[in-house]
């Protein structure tokens, strides 16, 4: 029996252009193939976990299926603990993901981390962990991957994280290194018992230079030279060993911003809590530039391999890359980061009819001077103090949708909009059953509960309660996932390209791309972090010290 | 409130009871997690319910500041605001006023303090406290008491005790007139510092008002007094308080404190300790606390505690993963909080079972042997439990006994 192909296309428009497909993970171990319709969401993680989520929260969030795991945080111990787990699915087991649902993509570096880094060497890549920068050489990475057995893995590549511009020489070196690292990664080890990594993804290198990107892609498709061929059979080209392509947009945005003379200083955002990506914005122009760069890479390459895009900065940008290039997996970092800074997303694709989202009981996001609507709500804003409506006006909540059929809004199934009572409760003594099986007050398990409302999340944000971010992250990932589903639906129409074009224009006319809301939210978030967060933590540290006085174990 | 004692320990003063409030039945004795700002740190109410918890505490002082009573009224009360369908208790706000506000001045009228918003003088009277607690809508509400530190000595202690009695009368009167007294249950707070005669007088006064209070709290403790004094005050109060009212010991959260209080006849306790310590990476176990930040846990593939039914341990989260994430990812705080709350619930659930089965003295012995083992038993626990007929050292001549607080902590980063 041959393995299901990793990726199949159902709707295409040639080399570049919108496409719908299916990512099929066949582990060839007798377990069912995990199929995901694309374009699909790739959830970002930090230190191996989805930020703000306990395991039960991950389980109830249907949007989380594909998960990106940067390895670098585990470099703070040697050997890294992930390599000590063993078993058939060490990453799933250790990090608590479900083998029949979650597909894990391992990468050395966190693609959302744009901090300035010391340069890579000819045979090592620099990575970050809490103890500082670590050099990871190729054999080591290969060993880590063999021990971790990820579903998909990204080969090392040499992306400069020094401030742009980058010289011709630097770009040439980057391409040479990336090619040779890939070849090395694909090469069968001397030890035949060691399994080769399957589903190897490669960063398409070349920076913001179309010709450099084209050169890298050409090198992938050239026949492998005799002298390099050892251990690479049966591949004729390096691309034969590659299952899919990765685009990291963050360094490209940084370079494009530098070219446009609005450099984003990669080493030191104005506040230590901010990330480089927080100030990155998209525009029709920047999207066109990105599309050109992605196209330059993909031009010589086959169309049937999945394309992963990391760190897009807006839904507008995702839409344009879907239209101009054709992309298949998109990471959720942008939406997850919005949850960090107090933004609840509230938008849909295709844009809903005006009548369905204008409702007195659930206000839509603010409309800016240019007539465009915010992509969500900055729940730090005092205007939400008395707003007792569900998070998103463009989605209904499970509880009220179950009670009335008057509105035709889709339901947001997230744990914030459609929470359910627990399926079961722990019993701690034989008499506890009297609490939970109370004839005077029946408590059905898994029953829909009213949604968490804006005023509550506003309160939690201002009181620095962590579950504000949990609720927002559950919601934002779900809204982004629904957005991608909306793209798939439009592409399922009779004239997909025209329909998509029409809907993108409507989306661009409706929703604000400048994302002023993000700047406002980040400012208020920083105020609370600095005033409450640090003060509170310092107080608590004092208390903890006092309460831990005693006999050490 | 319906309160029924189901079983009593044949040796100690411990008992199991069923307390029915407007939001369901809570079995006692129980530990109440603290949701200061209308949220158990990091958890949704559904997650808290899944842990088998059905009585939590909100702080009146904090909720009155934010979101404010107006918002809570609009939302239909604190239950609805935070999505909590089960029982809820609020304190009076007095304790926080004294501990968090520097300029609080107590007068007969009430507590005068500087508004945290604009510094303007603001008065919290007993009537105002009850009125705020009515807006919050908790199932159990507390009288405003005149709080003095448990280390205070001299006439101020007696003054505060008598004022607390007078304020109780004002709270009762206001509460009964409001018409809320059939759904919200007012508890009195026994004060009197560490002085037995003052406690006795306070108990007499408050027990005389028994028909108009639903339960009793023992206040003015856990403020740094010696543990050997602490348990004697608890015992004095619990011994004297009426059988048919729940007894609530405020600010108690260490497992050994909980079990001693239960043995002395306490039914309810609350503390921020298990949730706060979780955020610093400390997990509570029946073999004592574990500081998961210590590097010795970095490759330990065991759960926090084998056999623990909490979502963290039962889903296979290892000490190694928690070591990797503790204090750096909120997800670690959530996972350890879930475990710690289940630990507290298991300690109390185990006590309920043992009392029902007539094996509570043995339960105490087993718990202390496991928890303190070689580290030594706190002397005050040995003394306290002897006073109710349980000798922890019986048949254990080699057990070490430690004077002082005897808290067992794995806190050093060097270990
Ligand atoms: Zn939602
Ligand atoms: Zn546990």
Q: Are A492 and A20 in contact (CB under 8 A)?
A: yes
CATH number at residue B174: 3.20.20.105
The pLDDT value recorded for residue B19 is: 98
DSSP A263: -
Range of the domain at B178: 2-95+129-272
Which has the closest alpha carbon to A335: A320, A314, A350, A349? A314
**Cα A285 to averaged position of ligand 2 atoms, centre (Å):** 52
What would the pLDDT profile of A510-524 be if each residue is shown by its tens digit?
999 999 999 999 999
Dist CA B326 CA B27 (whole Å): 33
- Would you say B220 is a known binding-site residue? yes
The pLDDT value recorded for residue B94 is: 84
The pLDDT value recorded for residue A98 is: 97
Q: Reduced to 3 DSSP states, what percent helix, strand and coil does chain A have, rounded to the nearest 5?
A: 40, 15, 45
The lowest-confidence range among A102-111, A145-154, A223-232 is A223-232
Judge: A460–B47 Cβ closer than 8 Å, yes or no: no
What average pLDDT does range A404-411 have in this prediction?
78
Q: Are A7 and A21 in contact (CB under 8 A)?
A: yes
Judge: A550–B408 Cβ closer than 8 Å, yes or no: yes
Which residue in B24, B82, B409 is closest to A551 by CB distance? B409
**pLDDT interval class at A1 (50, 70, 90):** low
Judge: B85–A443 Cβ closer than 8 Å, yes or no: yes
* Angstroms from B14 CA to nearest CA on chain A: 15
Q: What is the DSSP string of A174-223?
A: HHHHHHHHHHHHHSPPSSTTSPPPPSEEEE---TT-HHHHHHHHHHHHSB
What would the pLDDT profile of A292-319 be if each residue is shown by its tens digit?
999 999 999 999 999 999 999 999 999 9
Which residue in B51, B288, B328 is closest to A553 by CB distance? B288
pLDDT of B168 over the 60 cut: yes
pLDDT of B49 over the 90 cut: yes
**Cα B346 to averaged position of ligand 2 atoms, centre (Å):** 10
Nearest CA in chain A to B326: A47
- The answer to the question of residue B79 being in a domain is yes
The pLDDT value recorded for residue B137 is: 97
**CA distances, B38 to each of A529, B34, B279, B369 (Å):** 19, 9, 18, 37
With vertex at residue B318, the alpha carbon angle to CA B314 and CA B320, rounded to the nearest 5 degrees, is: 170
- The answer to the question of residue B183 being in a domain is yes
Dist CA B162 CA B191 (whole Å): 9
The pLDDT value recorded for residue A357 is: 57
Neighbour tally for A442: CB within 10 Å: 9
- For residue A410, give both structure tokens: 């889709």
Judge: A430–B356 Cβ closer than 8 Å, yes or no: yes
Dist CA B110 CA B121 (whole Å): 12
Is ipTM over 0.85?
yes
What would the pLDDT profile of B257-315 be if each residue is shown by its tens digit?
999 999 999 999 999 999 999 999 999 999 999 999 999 999 999 999 999 999 999 99
**pLDDT interval class at A533 (50, 70, 90):** low
Dist CA B70 CA B66 (whole Å): 10
What would the pLDDT profile of A229-261 be if each residue is shown by its tens digit?
888 988 999 999 999 999 999 999 999 988 887
What would the pLDDT profile of B311-368 be if each residue is shown by its tens digit?
999 999 999 999 999 999 999 999 999 999 999 999 999 999 999 999 999 999 999 9
**CA distances, A144 to each of A96, B130, B295 (Å):** 19, 61, 21
Judge: A94–B318 Cβ closer than 8 Å, yes or no: yes
pLDDT of B67 over the 80 cut: yes
* Number of domains comprising chain B: 1
- The answer to the question of residue B305 being in a domain is no
Give strand pairing partners of B2: B20
**Dihedral of CA A305/A306/A308/A309: which sign?**
positive
pLDDT of A54 over the 50 cut: yes
Give the up-direction half-sphere exposure of residue B88: CA atoms within 13 A in the CB hemisphere. Answer: 29
pLDDT of A537 over the 60 cut: no
Radius of gyration for the alpha carbons in chain A, expressed in angstroms and rounded: 24
**Cα B209 to averaged position of ligand 2 atoms, centre (Å):** 43
- The number of C-beta contacts closer than 8 angstroms across A and B is 238
The pLDDT value recorded for residue B117 is: 76
- Residues of chain A above pLDDT 90, percent: 78
- The answer to the question of residue B87 being in a domain is yes
> What is the model's pTM?
0.96
Q: Work out the mean pLDDT of chain A and round it to a whole number.
A: 91
- Provide CB contacts within 8 A for B227, sequence distance 6+: B378, B380, B404, B405, B406
Mutate to test the interface with A, among B5, B35, B36, B46 (most CBs of A within 10 A): B46
- The answer to the question of residue B10 being in a domain is yes
What would the pLDDT profile of A152-207 be if each residue is shown by its tens digit?
999 999 988 777 778 888 889 999 999 999 999 999 765 655 667 789 999 999 99
- The answer to the question of residue B397 being in a domain is no
The pLDDT value recorded for residue A541 is: 46
Number of H helices and E strands in chain A, helices first, is: 17, 16
pLDDT of A13 over the 90 cut: no
What average pLDDT does range B229-249 have in this prediction?
98
pLDDT of A552 over the 80 cut: no
- The answer to the question of residue B222 being in a domain is yes
Who has greater pLDDT, A350 or A354?
A: A350
Q: What is the b/e burial string over A215-235, where b = at least 16 CB atoms within 10 angstroms of the residue's CB?
A: bbbebbeeebeeeeeeebeeb
Dist CA A292 CA A286 (whole Å): 10
What average pLDDT does range B172-201 have in this prediction?
95
Catalogue all structural domains in chain A, each as residue range(s) with its CATH number.
38-331 (3.20.20.105), 343-437+444-532 (no CATH)
Residues listed for chain A: 553
The pLDDT value recorded for residue A189 is: 62
- The answer to the question of residue B318 being in a domain is no
**pLDDT interval class at A269 (50, 70, 90):** low
Which residue in A57, A434, A549 is closest to B25 by CB distance? A434
């Amino acid at each position: 029996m041959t393995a299901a192909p990793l990726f199949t296309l159902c709707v295409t428009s040639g080399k570049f252009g919108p496409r719908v497909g299916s990512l099929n993970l066949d582990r060839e171990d007798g377990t069912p193939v995990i199929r995901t319709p694309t374009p699909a969401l790739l959830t970002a993680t930090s230190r191996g976990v989805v930020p703000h989520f306990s395991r039960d929260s991950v389980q109830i969030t249907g949007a989380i299926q594909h998960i990106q795991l940067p390895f670098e945080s585990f470099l703070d111990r040697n050997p890294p603990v992930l390599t000590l787990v063993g078993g058939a699915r060490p990453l799933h087991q250790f990090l608590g993901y479900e083998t029949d649902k979650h597909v894990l993509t391992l990468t050395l570096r966190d693609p959302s981390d744009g901090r300035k880094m010391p340069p890579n060497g000819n045979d090592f890549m620099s990575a970050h962990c809490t103890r500082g920068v670590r050099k990871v050489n190729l054999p080591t990475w290969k060993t880590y991957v063999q021990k971790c057995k990820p579903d998909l893995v990204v080969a090392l590549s040499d992306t400069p994280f020094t401030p742009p511009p980058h010289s011709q020489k630097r770009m040439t070196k980057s391409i040479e290194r990336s090619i040779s690292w890939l070849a090395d990664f694909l090469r069968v080890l001397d030890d035949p018992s060691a399994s080769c990594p399957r589903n190897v993804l490669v960063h398409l290198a070349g920076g913001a230079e179309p010709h450099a990107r084209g050169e890298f892609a050409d090198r992938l498709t050239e026949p492998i030279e005799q002298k390099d061929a050892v251990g690479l059979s049966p591949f004729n080209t390096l691309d034969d060993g590659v299952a899919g392509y990765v685009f990291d947009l963050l360094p490209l945005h940084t370079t494009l911003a530098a070219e446009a003379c609005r450099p984003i200083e990669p080493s030191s955002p104005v506040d230590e809590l901010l990330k480089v990506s927080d100030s990155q914005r998209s525009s029709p122009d920047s999207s066109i530039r990105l599309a050109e760069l992605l196209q330059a890479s993909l031009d010589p390459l086959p169309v049937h391999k999945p394309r992963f895009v990391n760190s897009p900065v807006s839904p507008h940008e995702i839409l344009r890359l879907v239209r101009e290039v054709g992309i298949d997996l998109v990471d959720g970092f942008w939406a997850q980061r919005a949850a960090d800074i107090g933004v609840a997303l509230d938008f849909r694709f295709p844009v809903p009819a005006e009548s369905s989202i204008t409702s007195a009981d659930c206000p839509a996001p603010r409309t800016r001077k240019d007539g465009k609507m915010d992509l969500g709500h900055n729940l730090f804003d005092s205007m939400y103090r008395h707003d007792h409506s569900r998070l998103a006006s463009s989605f209904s909540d499970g509880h009220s949708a179950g009670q009335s059929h008057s509105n035709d809004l889709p339901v947001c199934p997230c744990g914030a909009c459609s929470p359910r009572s627990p399926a079961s409760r722990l019993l701690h003594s034989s008499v506890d059953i009297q609490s939970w099986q109370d004839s005077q007050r029946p408590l059905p398990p898994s029953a829909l509960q009213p949604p968490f409302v804006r005023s509550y999340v506003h309160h939690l944000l201002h009181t620095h309660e962590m579950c504000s971010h949990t609720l927002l992250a559950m919601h934002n990932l779900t809204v982004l996932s629904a957005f991608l589903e909306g793209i798939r639906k439009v592409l399922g129409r009779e004239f997909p390209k025209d329909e998509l074009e029409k809907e993108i224009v409507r989306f661009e006319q409706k929703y604000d791309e400048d994302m002023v809301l993000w700047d406002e939210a980040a400012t208020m978030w920083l105020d609370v972090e600095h005033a409450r967060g640090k003060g509170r933590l310092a107080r608590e540290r004092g208390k903890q010290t006092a309460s831990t006085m005693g006999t050490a174990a | 409130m319906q309160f029924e004692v189901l079983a009593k320990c044949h040796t100690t003063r411990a008992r199991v009871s069923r307390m029915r409030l407007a939001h369901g039945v809570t079995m006692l004795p129980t530990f109440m997690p603290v949701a200061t700002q209308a949220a158990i740190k990091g958890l949704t109410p559904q997650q808290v319910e899944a842990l088998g918890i059905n009585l939590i505490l909100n702080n009146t002082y904090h909720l009155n500041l934010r979101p404010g009573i107006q918002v809570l009224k609009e939302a239909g009360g604190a239950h609805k605001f935070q999505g909590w369908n089960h029982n809820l208790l609020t304190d009076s706000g007095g304790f926080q006023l004294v501990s968090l506000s520097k300029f609080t001045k107590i007068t007969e009228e009430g507590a005068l303090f500087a508004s945290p918003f604009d510094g303007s003088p603001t008065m919290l009277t007993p009537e105002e406290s009850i009125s705020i607690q009515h807006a919050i809508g908790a199932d159990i509400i507390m009288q405003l008491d005149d709080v003095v530190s448990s280390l205070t000595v001299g006439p101020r202690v007696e003054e505060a005790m008598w004022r607390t009695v007078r304020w109780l009368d004002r709270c009762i009167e206001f509460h009964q007139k409001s018409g809320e007294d059939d759904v919200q249950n007012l508890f009195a707070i026994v004060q009197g510092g560490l002085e037995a005669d003052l406690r006795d007088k306070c108990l007499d006064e408050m027990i005389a008002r028994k028909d108009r209070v639903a339960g009793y709290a023992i206040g003015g403790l856990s403020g740094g007094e010696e543990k050997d004094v602490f348990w004697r005050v608890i015992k004095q109060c619990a011994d004297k308080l009426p059988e048919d009212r729940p007894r609530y010991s405020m600010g108690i959260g260490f497992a050994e404190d909980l079990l001693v209080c239960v043995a002395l006849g306490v039914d309810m306790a609350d503390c921020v300790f298990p949730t706060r310590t979780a955020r610093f990476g400390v997990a509570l176990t029946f073999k004592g606390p574990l500081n998961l930040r210590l590097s010795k846990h970095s490759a330990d593939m065991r759960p926090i505690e084998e056999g623990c039914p909490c979502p963290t341990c039962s889903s296979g989260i290892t000490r190694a993963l928690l070591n990797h994430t503790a204090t750096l990812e909120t997800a670690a705080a959530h996972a350890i909080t879930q475990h710690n709350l289940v630990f507290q619930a298991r300690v109390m659930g185990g006590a309920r079972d043992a009392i029902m089965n007539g094996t509570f003295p043995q339960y105490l012995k087993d718990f202390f042997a496991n928890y303190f083992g070689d580290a030594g038993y706190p002397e005050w626990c040995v003394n306290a439990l002897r006073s109710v007929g349980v000798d922890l050292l019986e048949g254990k001549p080699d057990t070490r006994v430690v004077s002082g607080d005897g808290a067992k902590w794995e806190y050093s980063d060097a270990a």
